């Protein structure tokens, strides 16, 4: 799939025995960039799917807003619910940067397409807490991005050592399916999103 300056793919599965998944994703273009988010609602089944849908709706409505403001909006929307872990990344095509932050256990990594002296990987610093209940101080990180850089985000139903996988020649959808197939467990919902930045137009 292609949205703005991102080529992306996603693979997800509900907890075995459930028909609805409490893990959701958002990929939404706006003027000058693209918003990417992965949501892992607490629990599983229909109620978790509903909570994840509420957060996805907030993010999809105003994708151009700063990521801190978006996370606060999600926090307000999910008050009184079980809550969710959410990680958000916003690509700015004008500056070729990506701003990202995370609360809870949705992991993220950027795998660089270039060679040294750039670091091969940048990992998202996720803070403890829960969107909708206990929101920590939000630490925003901004990093440069270049054409070919790959963002991989995954919920905690996927083993965290997925970050050792190198994209190689796989397309985003192929890589998302490969990670989900190889690293997802059977005790929780799982979702993997892979997005490749094609470079500013």
Strands 141-144 and 107-111: unpaired
pLDDT tens profile 134-178: 899 998 999 999 999 999 999 999 998 888 777 777 899 999 999
Three-state secondary-structure class, residue 15? coil
Q: CB under 8 Å to 76, separation ≥6 — which residues?
A: none
Q: How many helices (H) and strands (E) does the chain have?
A: 3, 12
Q: pLDDT-based confidence at 55, cuts 50/70/90?
A: very high
Q: At residue 98, does pLDDT exceed 60? A: yes
* Residue pair 102/92 in contact by the 8 Å Cβ criterion: no
Average pLDDT, integer, range 94-106 = 97
Instruction: Say which CATH architecture domain 2-197 belongs to.
Output: 4-Layer Sandwich (3.60)
CA 55 from chain centre, in angstroms, equals 13
What does the DSSP assignment read for 64-125? TS-HHHHHHHHHHHHTTS--EEEEEEEEETTTTEEEEEEESS-EEEEE-SS-TTS-SEEE--
* Residue pair 151/195 in contact by the 8 Å Cβ criterion: yes
Instruction: Check residue 163 and give its pLDDT.
Output: 82
pTM of the model: 0.95
């Amino acid at each position: 799939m292609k949205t703005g300056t991102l080529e992306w793919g996603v693979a997800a599965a509900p907890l075995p025995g459930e028909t609805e998944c409490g893990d959701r994703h958002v990929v939404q273009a706006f003027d000058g960039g693209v918003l990417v988010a992965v949501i892992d609602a607490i629990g599983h089944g229909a109620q978790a799917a509903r909570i994840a849908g509420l957060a996805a709706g907030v993010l999809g409505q105003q994708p151009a807003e700063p990521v801190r403001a978006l996370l606060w909006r999600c926090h307000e929307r999910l008050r009184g619910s079980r809550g969710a872990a959410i990680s958000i990344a916003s690509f700015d095509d004008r500056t070729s940067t990506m701003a990202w932050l995370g609360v809870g256990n949705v992991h993220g990594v950027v795998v660089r397409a270039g060679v040294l002296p750039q670091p091969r990987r940048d990992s998202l610093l996720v803070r403890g807490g829960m969107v909708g209940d206990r929101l920590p101080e939000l630490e925003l990180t901004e990093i440069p991005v270049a054409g070919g850089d790959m963002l991989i985000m995954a919920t905690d139903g996927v083993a965290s050592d997925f970050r050792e996988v190198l994209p190689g020649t796989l397309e985003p959808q192929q890589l998302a399916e490969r990670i989900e197939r190889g690293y997802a467990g059977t005790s929780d919902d799982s979702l993997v999103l892979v997005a490749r930045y094609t470079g500013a137009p």
